[in-house]
Structure 1
Amino acid sequence: MISSYLANNAQLDDRAIHLLFSANRWEKRSLMEAKLKSGTSLIVDRYSYSGVAFSAAKGLAIEWCKAPEEGLIAPDMVVYLDILPERAAERGGYGNERYEQLEFQRKVSDNYHDLSDSTWKIIDACLPEEDIQTQLRSLALESIAGCRSGKPLSTLWLPK
């Protein structure tokens, strides 16, 4: 259903698709927790922050968007590859998905910046690929080392 929606093959109410994405994350929560507690590091593309940023860009209240995500496992680190929407549009394949429209992407970008906190590491996505890769590797190794030292799991948007 989510794939059909993203490819413009299905229409859903904005709240319904937000809740479907959230349900998908909740479906994987116990598996993620088990893997993390067993020592496996997880790299997750577009987790809760993405759902909130995109749904809020459609006009939903940001606090409403965060509510179904409360209690999910919080990432130890969020890496945000920052690029102006205009620059992203210059890349190949842009415009194939529902949300690949400049004005909408500007709103999403603003929301990501509003959601960022001390766990976020921002990388300039216009840098050469090798530089981005070097920064990503360094940040990942730093985060993994912190987790191996016994950092406890935390939850999204609940008191820590």
Structure 2
Amino acid sequence: MIIVIEGFDQAGKKTQSQMLSDFLKTRHRKSVIFSFPDYDTPIGKEIKGFLGGKRKFAPQVIHCLLAANRWEKANEIKATLDKNYVVIMNRYYQSNLVYGTVNGLDLKWLENLDKGLPKENVVILLDVKVSDSFSRKKQRRDRFEKNKAFALEIASTYRKLGKKYGWHIVNASQERSQVHEQIKKIVQKYIR
């Protein structure tokens, strides 16, 4: 199965993905974590250049590159699923829907970019207050993370699309152990 952990910058996606993987071990379930964007791939390097302000792309191009970055890993994801691993996604295509919509792109067009990728079983949105995100990370913010007005719009769009698509929404401004407990409760409904 595929479990997606989504959310804005500093929502705790990496931490909660690792905590979930550790929890699954206690349930004798093997898991692998994939993180997107994956900056180690050729396309990932282009995305990193863009986010760091070294490259310029039209919104359509960067969102195509973000989708292509996931397609670069599609066979690896499928092979992992075939070995009966639980795949934990530290972001997946859902973030492209959120950021793309805020960047003025058509939602249907964005959805089509990832049509055919392995489908998730559950999406958990870590809903962090923008003020908490900014206080957790003072420096090295990428171009999507620096603008507070943009960040507020991203957070709002995450919530709106979360409701539209039926994602599980967890308050990520709580203590990490509280967030983890809520994630465990959600995941236990899907894993026997």
Match for 1:108 among 142, 154, 157? 154
Structure 2: state its 5+ residue gaps.
1-45
- Please say if 1:136 is aligned against 2:176: no
Instruction: Give the deviation of 1:113 after TM superposition.
Output: 2.2
Q: How does 1:64-143 map to 2 (within 5 A)?
A: 64-93=109-138, 96-100=141-145, 101-116=147-162, 117-118=165-166, 120-143=167-190
Q: Which amino acid is the alignment partner of residue 124 of structure 1? A: N
**What is the CA–CA distance in structure 1 between the aligned matches of 2:75 and 2:62, rounded to whole Å?**
22
**What is the CA–CA distance in structure 1 between the aligned matches of 2:54 and 2:190, rounded to whole Å?**
39
Aligned residue pairs total: 144
Instruction: Please state whether the residue corresponding to 1:44 is helix, strand or coil.
Output: strand
Q: Which amino acid is the alignment partner of residue 100 of structure 2? A: S
Runs of 4+ in 1 over 6 A off after TM superposition: none
CA RMSD of aligned residues (A): 1.8
Higher RCO (C-alpha under 8 Å, 6+ residues apart):
2
Instruction: Give the deviation of 1:34 after TM superposition.
Output: 2.1
Q: Which amino acid is the alignment partner of residue 126 of structure 1? A: S
Aligned sequence identity (%) = 25
For 1:3, the equivalent position in structure 2 comes to 48
* Structure richer in strand, relative to its length: 2
Contact 1:125 1:132 in 2 (8 A): yes
Instruction: Give the deviation of 1:111 after TM superposition.
Output: 2.2
Contact 2:127 2:159 in 1 (8 A): no
* Deviations, residues 90-123 of structure 1 (Å, cap 9, x unaligned): 22235611111221122222322232223x2111
Structure 1: state its 5+ residue gaps.
146-160
Instruction: Please state whether the residue corresponding to 1:144 is helix, strand or coil.
Output: coil
Instruction: Give the deviation of 1:14 after TM superposition.
Output: 0.9
Instruction: Please state whether the residue corresponding to 1:42 is helix, strand or coil.
Output: strand
Q: Which amino acid is the alignment partner of residue 81 of structure 1? A: L
For 1:24, the equivalent position in structure 2 comes to 69
The TM-score with structure 1 as length reference comes to: 0.80
The TM-score with structure 2 as length reference comes to: 0.68
Q: Which amino acid is the alignment partner of residue 122 of structure 1? A: I
Contact 1:88 1:94 in 2 (8 A): no
For 1:158, the equivalent position in structure 2 comes to none
